[in-house]
Homo-oligomer: A and B are copies of this chain.
């Protein structure tokens, strides 16, 4: 069943009014009719099976049939701080990271980022990013849409990091050290509902200075398996592992 995220202002009790792209999607793409069912997500994270009651030229109206009780969100909040990568890799990270349950994304301007963030295009970029995470949330049947923030410098990120319980960064050099701290050791210490900040370097990795700064401010360096992952694969490894650990290995079924 198709899922739509509806702004708070478009809910009135058990009635919902769907506008814009979503209304277009319902009428033109899905070609729904009165009586068809869709899933509408509220901004508070709840979701309901709704029945379409009216298809107007400008909006679609629907009424709640049944509120859903489902746990589809990771039990921990994982924010991906991604060194700005080349091309459309950041968009791949947003799409796949949303499917895999990320809570938020922070683009970070790093020493070895080849791409320079064009300030003039910020609004256009953030609009595009918001569209990607909204669509990926709908497609993956999530109840929340991840936030994508404005780009930060590494020092701004370090400043922001005081709001997190656990901080890690994927440091390729770590894979070469015999006595390194295991990613799993750190994961084992994370408690439900904690906030986790995961910092990933761009294509060229972290500069020595960045790695030293992150260590100094309490980021734990980890390796993500013994192979060398591309920058766009690292966050997906982290999110998939955390989902496996908290939702499958330590879920209700083992």
Interfacial residues of chain A within 49-102, with CB under 8 A of chain B in the complex: 70-72, 96, 99-101
Tell whether, in the assembled complex, residue B227 and residue A184 are in contact, meaning their CB atoms are under 8 Å apart: no
* A229 in the interface (beta carbon within 8 A): yes
Tell whether, in the assembled complex, residue B99 and residue A254 are in contact, meaning their CB atoms are under 8 Å apart: no
Q: Which of A19-27, A208-216, A232-240 contacts B (4 or more CB under 8 A)?
A: A232-240
Minimal Cβ-Cβ distance residue in B for A251: B182
Task: Report, as a range, how many residues of chain A touch the other chain.
Answer: 35 or more
A binding-site residues for B, Cβ under 8 Å: 70-72, 96, 99-101, 139-142, 180-185, 187-188, 223-230, 233, 236-237, 240-241, 243-245, 247-249, 251, 253-254
Minimal Cβ-Cβ distance residue in B for A138: B228
Q: How many copies does the complex hold?
A: 2
A222 to chain B, nearest CB (A): 9
A139-B228, A142-B227 known; A183+B248 contact, CB < 8 A? yes
A185-B254, A240-B240 known; A100+B248 contact, CB < 8 A? no
CA separation between A96 and B229, bound complex, in Å?
Answer: 9
Minimal Cβ-Cβ distance residue in B for A172: B141
CA separation between A182 and B248, bound complex, in Å?
Answer: 6
